[in-house]
Structure 1
Amino acid sequence: MSTASTVTTGRTGYGSRPGAGAAELDLPHVPRPAEVAPRDARELSRLFFARLALLEEGTREHSYVRNTLIELNLALVRYAATRFRHRADQMDDIVQVGTIGLIKAIDRFELSREVEFATFAVPYVTGEIKRFFRDTSWAVHVPRRLQELRLDLAKATDELSQRLDRAPTTAQLAHHLGLDEEEIVEGIVAGNGYTAGSIDLPADDTSDGPPALADRLGGPDAALETVEDVESLKPLLAALSDRERRILRMRFGDEMTQAEIGAELGVSQMQVSRLLTRITARLRTGLLAAG
């Protein structure tokens, strides 16, 4: 190879050091591995893989060879990332995740496989990128089984829609995929969690269009708690004596003062106060016990 004998020493971006012993390992120093042409990178990679297999993991020499291999083959990550260029806003993350796939491929590759490293590595790189999208693209986390079912449903729906010239039914989707209808329904419901939008967004872009979803959503009815309290009080009130129910009616229904109640019953205001305290305490205890 023309460049192998002319490259000089240098530090790689992954931490390999000129002093790591490239000369001692009988390997060429590569000052900027990521800038090596693809053809030269393939030939250099064979040399470095052959040496890597003989080195003990964790040593300085092993790190140098492994890190150089990573940089030599970063072009594979960039190549795989072009398949996802429609997600340009995530390209930095895609390259980073794809590099993890490249590292896994390097750690598992063996020259004895008699296959080009690029052929071996690209599926690792793309697989890691797809796994990244699968795990982070969903607005709501759902099991992996349902994530994959959503893709199968989308494909089956397209095929059946073209064949039937209409949207397929749940039963037809189940028959096409060989699944139960319950699983199809579960997959459709789970698919709703792929994307999410704010309830404060307007329904459309027109100023006179329908209000935002938040404006049409109902809220808790405060009267419901009153209904529950009334229903809980009914048996407790039924257990009171006629005189006690009459006192409560005069005080809270007719809104009479304690003095007026005392005059009606022929007792003092103090007695009325004690009676009300005892009755309401009994009702309160009953409500707490019921709750």
Structure 2
Amino acid sequence: MAHPATAERPRAATANPIDRARRQREDQRLMRKVQTGDDHAREELIERYMPLARSLALRYRRASEPLDDLIQVASVGLVKAVDRWDPERGLAFSSYAVPTILGELRRYFRDSTWDVRPARDLQELCLALEEAREALWGELGRQPTVADLAARLERQPEEIVEALQATEGRSIRSLDAPVHDEENDSASAGDLIGADDEEFERVEAGVTLERLTGILDDRAREILRLRFAEDLLQSEIAEVVGCSQMHISRIIRSSLEKLYAYGSGKEVAE
């Protein structure tokens, strides 16, 4: 992130008092034309303050946010300032435009740059924390500690820690990224995500079947087990049980009808 001191300074801020007064009168003249519907004057006023919008965008530059996107957001704030400024109130346009542009940039970072979005007050603290960290880095010549940040923002250390943790949610790592960067053969995050286990469904189905078949006698339960669990043919079951295939067929059909009637009756009862 670029330090504010290195950002491009708007020309209005470095002009002498006479130049500032002249510029303010020119801004007022253009704005009066804008209020009469002069689009050319509106475009001219916007163009005059684009360096200001760029300099403010640079204050919010992060490695993860393209500078062009930030300039576009700042430009939107500048346009809003042009459309809302009332020169009759005596406030210089630059004084009105700066908080309007900064507000647009803050809203952008608050609402549009989070993969995992925390509560709004925590988002605001995260933004203030990043600005404070950059300022303290320049002042201290080292990475500021939690205590340094807490003192600068007048917040409790616990709040600073929570904000630092929330900042990690601004962007989510790829599921293909290794879990441990120092290990070449480290598993990826995606490898650690659980999947459905079909064995759970099989066990659950077995428990359900065992509960339902409690209404059948031992012989009928064994025949159903041989048919549907062991996948034997009716002729093979007949040899195991010691009866005719036709009798096996009747037992299977009768047992299934009982189970269906029992299951239907139970569902109705529920």
TM-score, normalized by length of structure 1? 0.63
- Aligned pairs for 1:221-240 (under 5 A) are 221-240=197-216
Contact 1:41–1:72 (8 Å) recurs in 2: no
Q: Structure 1: which amino acid aligns with 2:106?
A: K
Coordinate RMSD, CA, aligned: 4.0
Q: Which residue of 2 aligns with 1:74?
A: 50
Spell out, residue by residue over 1:92-137, the C-alpha distance to the aligned partner (whole angstroms, 9 max, x if none). Answer: 2112111111121112212222222111111111221221122222
Q: Which residue of 1 aligns with 2:5?
A: none
Distance change >3 Å, CA 256–CA 102, structure 1 → 2: closer
Q: Which residue of 1 aligns with 2:141?
A: none
Distance 1:49 1:280 in 2: 87
| Runs of 4+ off more than 6 Å | 152-157
Q: Which residue of 2 aligns with 1:118?
A: 94
Q: Which residue of 2 aligns with 1:19?
A: none
Aligned partner of residue 38 in structure 2, secondary structure: helix
Q: Which residue of 2 aligns with 1:50?
A: 32
Distance 1:195 1:88 in 2: 8
Q: Indicate yes or no: 2:186 matched with 1:210.
A: yes
Q: Which residue of 2 aligns with 1:173?
A: 158
Q: Which residue of 2 aligns with 1:247?
A: 223
Q: Which residue of 2 aligns with 1:148?
A: 124
Q: 2:174 aligns with which of 194, 198, 206?
A: 198
Q: How many aligned residue pairs are there?
A: 233
Of structures 1 and 2, the one with the larger relative CO (CA 8 A, separation 6+) is 2
5+ long unaligned stretches in structure 1: 1-36, 56-60, 164-170, 178-183
More helix by share: 2
Distance change >3 Å, CA 87–CA 77, structure 1 → 2: farther
1:251: Cα distance to partner?
A: 3.5
Distance 2:90 2:117 in 1: 41
Distance change >3 Å, CA 242–CA 188, structure 1 → 2: farther
Q: Indicate yes or no: 2:147 matched with 1:160.
A: yes
Q: Which residue of 2 aligns with 1:108?
A: 84
Contact 2:60–2:105 (8 Å) recurs in 1: no
Q: What is the percent sequence identity of the aligned residues? A: 31
Contact 2:61–2:70 (8 Å) recurs in 1: no
Distance 1:153 1:206 in 2: 29
Spell out, residue by residue over 1:14-62, the C-alpha distance to the aligned partner (whole angstroms, 9 max, x if none). Answer: xxxxxxxxxxxxxxxxxxxxxxx86575443221123334x2xxxxx43
The more displaced of 134-143 and 223-232 is 134-143
Aligned partner of residue 196 in structure 1, secondary structure: coil
Distance change >3 Å, CA 282–CA 75, structure 1 → 2: farther
Distance change >3 Å, CA 41–CA 81, structure 1 → 2: farther
Q: 2:248 aligns with which of 251, 272, 277?
A: 272
1:283: Cα distance to partner?
A: 4.4
Contact 1:251–1:261 (8 Å) recurs in 2: yes
Q: Which residue of 2 aligns with 1:8?
A: none
Q: Which residue of 2 aligns with 1:3?
A: none
Aligned partner of residue 193 in structure 1, secondary structure: helix
5+ long unaligned stretches in structure 2: 1-10, 13-18, 134-143, 151-155
Contact 2:213–2:221 (8 Å) recurs in 1: yes
Aligned partner of residue 32 in structure 2, secondary structure: helix
Q: Which residue of 1 aligns with 2:113?
A: 137
Contact 1:201–1:213 (8 Å) recurs in 2: yes
